């Protein structure tokens, strides 16, 4: 490992809030709303004819949830605004149930009263899916944080939906297991929200998506019925796999209240390499070599470009541990034999260095240094928030086309954008394209969209790889799904939630054709 022993020392506000208040639907004429929708398909639609919360409703909720029915505007504020501070609702009620039965009674009552509900976990979403658009009641899972069971033979964890991902990770590590997913927002995000958005994250290359690791779900439907599919079996081929309907449905079909998930054993040896490449083609060739030579111990292959590194250095004062490069790679290996893993990694590093695929690099094996290297990838989103207003795109593409979109977007926008940066999960073909400007700029947005979606559709990609559609991207679904598929989604929504009270204005387009 000698050639890579060197290791260098390694409250957000936005001026522009996209305010989506109740008066939106009444202050504008139908023509005005149509024009806004035409100009910006990500804008809020008119408020649907849901009931308003009355004193009688509040009395019911306070009886059901004594001390857990929040109406103080100051306490509601953080739940009304998304993490990016770009979408703000106007909910007057926050409910904090502790049990599935309480969720059931809430939804049964809201369905009868025609009251819209916005399910909310850790509120770390990036597409406006976890906050109200108008005055929907916020149903928070923050108090549903109990581990129900853990089987240390099978590695199957069953827990409530409000468990914070990092807390679950700590719980499992004490028992020599790990969660199959890892996210930059792990300190805040809830496992129920992860499942509801089918979050991907940093370990997908190794352990696959939540569609494979989630074994069972408990879900409360719009009318209050409890659907108990909380299986702990790896094999169950009896009828339709109903849990898949709710994974990635963003709370529009039901509220997930509990999850059973298959967890891998904690690796005994973890290594992280941070490498520099002079071109994206060399980065791809390094990835190809990496998969061949590291094989079963490869757990992550991430990248960021030089622009991302500049933002990390400028805003977060992080230090680049290697020579400046156009592209950077984070590679993680995880296995059961330290000597075996280090030998494989050493041979791989010698190969990519001698073939000039990699220009410089460093390796970490100690926990603190591993964390420092990972922060260079995980904190890019945080660094971007200091750049002004950020337009975020979560794109899935054929691996060889990932960075072409970044370069084409730079050429397309010219001087209109302050920064166009790219980073993401090479192993999954997932690009996080971020475009910044000093403030919210409608002209810049018009230049980005629908260009970015047309480009993605041209190369058979997905306009949302892991963030979901939420409010912001719902009307762009046709760039990734045929009309027949979207129509069927609408039929499923109508069957499970005929009054449309669950997370309205999200995921599905305003007009299904």
Note the pLDDT of residue 266.
96
Spans of the chain below 50 pLDDT: 1-38
Measured CA distances, 456 to 109, 376, 395, 398, 431 (Å)? 42, 27, 7, 10, 11
Q: Find all residues with CB under 8 Å of 7, minimum gap 6, and list them.
A: 321, 362, 363, 364, 369
Note the pLDDT of residue 25.
36
Q: Find all residues with CB under 8 Å of 415, minimum gap 6, and list them.
A: none
Lookup: tokens for 188 = 């805040």
396: left (phi over 0), alpha (psi -120 to 50) or beta: beta
Lookup: tokens for 215 = 């074994």
Note the pLDDT of residue 31.
37
Rounded to an integer, what distance in angstroms lies between the CA atom of residue 124 and that of residue 194?
A: 10
Note the pLDDT of residue 41.
83
Give 233-292 as a 3 state SS string: CCCCCCCCCCHHHHCCCCCCCCEEEEEEEECCECCCEEEEEEEEECCHHHHHHHHHHHHH
- Domains, the chain, ordered by start: 3-20+268-379 (3.30.70.2190), 147-262 (3.30.465.10), 387-480 (3.30.70.2740)
Give the three-class secondary structure for 462. strand
Report yes or no: 270 and 334 within 8 Å, Cβ to Cβ: yes
Question: What's the sign of the alpha-carbon dihedral 476, 481, 483, 484?
Answer: negative
Lookup: tokens for 462 = 């997905």
Report yes or no: 443 and 416 within 8 Å, Cβ to Cβ: yes
Lookup: tokens for 233 = 């079996």
With CA atoms as reference, report the closest residue to 56 among 18, 113, 100, 108.
113
Note the pLDDT of residue 119.
98
Rounded to an integer, what distance in angstroms lies between the CA atom of residue 330 and that of residue 376?
A: 9
């Amino acid at each position: 490992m000698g050639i890579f022993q060197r290791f260098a020392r390694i409250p957000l506000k936005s001026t522009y809030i996209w305010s989506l208040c109740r008066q939106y639907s009444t202050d504008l004429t139908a023509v005005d709303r149509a024009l806004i929708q035409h100009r910006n398909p990500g804008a809020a639609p008119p408020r649907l004819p849901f009931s308003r919360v009355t004193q009688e409703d509040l009395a019911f909720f306070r009886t059901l949830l004594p001390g857990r029915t929040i109406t103080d505007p100051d306490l509601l504020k953080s739940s009304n605004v998304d993490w990016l501070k770009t979408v703000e609702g106007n909910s007057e009620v926050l409910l904090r149930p502790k049990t599935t039965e309480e969720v059931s009674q809430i939804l049964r009552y809201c369905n009868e009263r025609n009251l819209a509900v916005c399910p909310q976990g850790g509120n770390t979403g990036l597409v406006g899916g976890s906050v109200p658009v108008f005055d929907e009641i916020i149903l928070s899972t923050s108090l549903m944080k109990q581990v129900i069971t853990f089987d240390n033979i099978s590695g199957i964890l069953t827990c409530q939906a409000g468990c914070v991902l990092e807390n679950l990770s700590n719980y499992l590590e004490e028992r020599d297991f790990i969660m199959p997913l890892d996210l930059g927002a792990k300190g805040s995000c809830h496992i129920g929200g992860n499942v509801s958005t089918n979050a991907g994250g940093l370990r997908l290359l190794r352990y696959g998506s939540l569609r494979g690791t989630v074994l069972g779900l408990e879900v409360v439907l719009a009318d209050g019925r409890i659907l108990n599919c909380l299986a702990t079996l790896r094999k169950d081929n009896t009828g339709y796999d109903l849990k898949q309907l709710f994974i990635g449905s963003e709370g529009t079909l039901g509220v997930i209240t509990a999850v059973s998930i298959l967890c891998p054993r904690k690796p005994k040896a973890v290594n992280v390499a941070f490498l520099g490449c002079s071109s994206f083609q060399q980065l791809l060739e390094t990835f190809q070599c990496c998969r061949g030579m590291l094989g079963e111990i490869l757990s992550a292959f991430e990248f960021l470009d030089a622009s991302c590194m500049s933002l990390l250095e400028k805003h977060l004062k992080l230090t680049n541990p290697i020579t400046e490069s156009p592209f950077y790679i984070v590679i993680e290996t995880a296995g059961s034999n330290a000597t075996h893993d280090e030998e494989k990694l050493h041979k791989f590093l010698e190969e990519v260095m001698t073939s000039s695929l990699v220009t410089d690099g460093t390796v970490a094996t100690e926990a603190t240094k591993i964390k420092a290297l990972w922060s260079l990838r995980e904190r890019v989103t945080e660094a971007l928030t200091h750049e002004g207003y950020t337009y975020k795109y979560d794109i899935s593409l054929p691996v060889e086309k990932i960075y072409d979109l970044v370069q084409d977007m730079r050429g397309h926008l010219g001087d209109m954008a302050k920064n166009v940066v790219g980073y993401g999960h090479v192993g999954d073909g997932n690009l996080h394209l971020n475009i910044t400007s000093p403030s919210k700029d409608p002209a810049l947005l018009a230049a980005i969209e629908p260009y970015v979606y047309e480009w993605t559709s041209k190369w058979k990609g997905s306009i949302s790889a892991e963030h979901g559609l939420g409010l912001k991207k719902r009307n762009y679904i046709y760039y990734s799904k045929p009309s027949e598929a979207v129509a069927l989604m609408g039929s499923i929504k109508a069957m499970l939630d005929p009054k449309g009270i669950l997370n309205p204005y999200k995921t599905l387009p305003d007009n299904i054709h």
